[in-house]
């Protein structure tokens, strides 16, 4: 697992329109990079809506929100349009970035074990250094926790 103070792994992933976005493109801005299991599921939708509701407050603190899942760009487009999401969603269908950030893990649900994305948020500073990690982030409170963290800074 990545540690606070270490350099965030670089990535280059497509958005809903197929445009590539890399971590280096965001130098000079802070980022909340959040990994989530799947578009249009209850927890992931609640988390996205919480980010939508706090989006302007987070932007005012020089923070960009970027969501990453293994969903396709088309799925992201539908999800963003359905919920009027103002932030970027990136597709990692090859699981490269998901694995680089250590969020592809064994999960247990109803006694069944499988591999999947563990909901995790990384706050990255202007120079690409990890400032804060929210492992097993709660969908309903993650955005508020990030705001509280930024207020402490």
Nearest CA among 24, 19, 44 for reference residue 34? 44
Residue 100 CB: number of other CB atoms within 10 A? 15
- pLDDT at position 111: 85
pTM, two decimal places: 0.95
DSSP, res 87: S
Choose the catalytic residue: 23, 31, 44, 65.
Answer: 44
Give CA–CA dist 80/90, Å, rounded: 11
Q: For 101, list phi and psi in degrees, rounded to 5.
A: -90, 0
Residue 145, pLDDT above cutoff 80: yes
Domains of the chain, with CATH numbers?
26-152 (3.40.30.10)
Nearest-10 crossing angle of helices 42-60, 73-83? 70
Q: How confident is the model at residue 109 (pLDDT cuts 50, 70, 90)?
A: confident
How far is residue 36 from each of residues 5, 28, 40, 52, 100, measured CA to CA in Å? Answer: 23, 25, 11, 15, 15
Q: How confident is the model at residue 91 (pLDDT cuts 50, 70, 90)?
A: very high
Is 44 designated active site?
A: yes
- pLDDT at position 107: 87
């Amino acid at each position: 697992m990545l540690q606070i103070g270490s350099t965030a792994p670089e990535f280059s992933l497509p958005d809903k329109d197929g445009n590539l976005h890399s971590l280096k493109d965001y130098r000079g801005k802070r980022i909340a990079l959040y990994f989530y299991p799947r578009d249009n599921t209850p927890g992931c939708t609640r988390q996205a809506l919480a980010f939508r509701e706090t989006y302007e407050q987070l932007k005012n603190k020089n923070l960009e929100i970027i969501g990453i899942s293994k969903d396709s760009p088309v799925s992201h487009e539908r999800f963003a349009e359905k919920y009027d999401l103002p932030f970027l969603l990136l597709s990692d269908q090859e699981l490269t970035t998901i694995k680089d950030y250590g969020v592809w893990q064994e999960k247990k649900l109803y006694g069944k074990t499988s591999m999947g994305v563990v909901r995790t948020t990384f706050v990255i500073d202007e120079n690409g250094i990890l400032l804060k990690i929210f492992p097993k982030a709660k969908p309903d409170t993650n955005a508020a926790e990030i705001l509280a963290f930024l207020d402490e800074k």
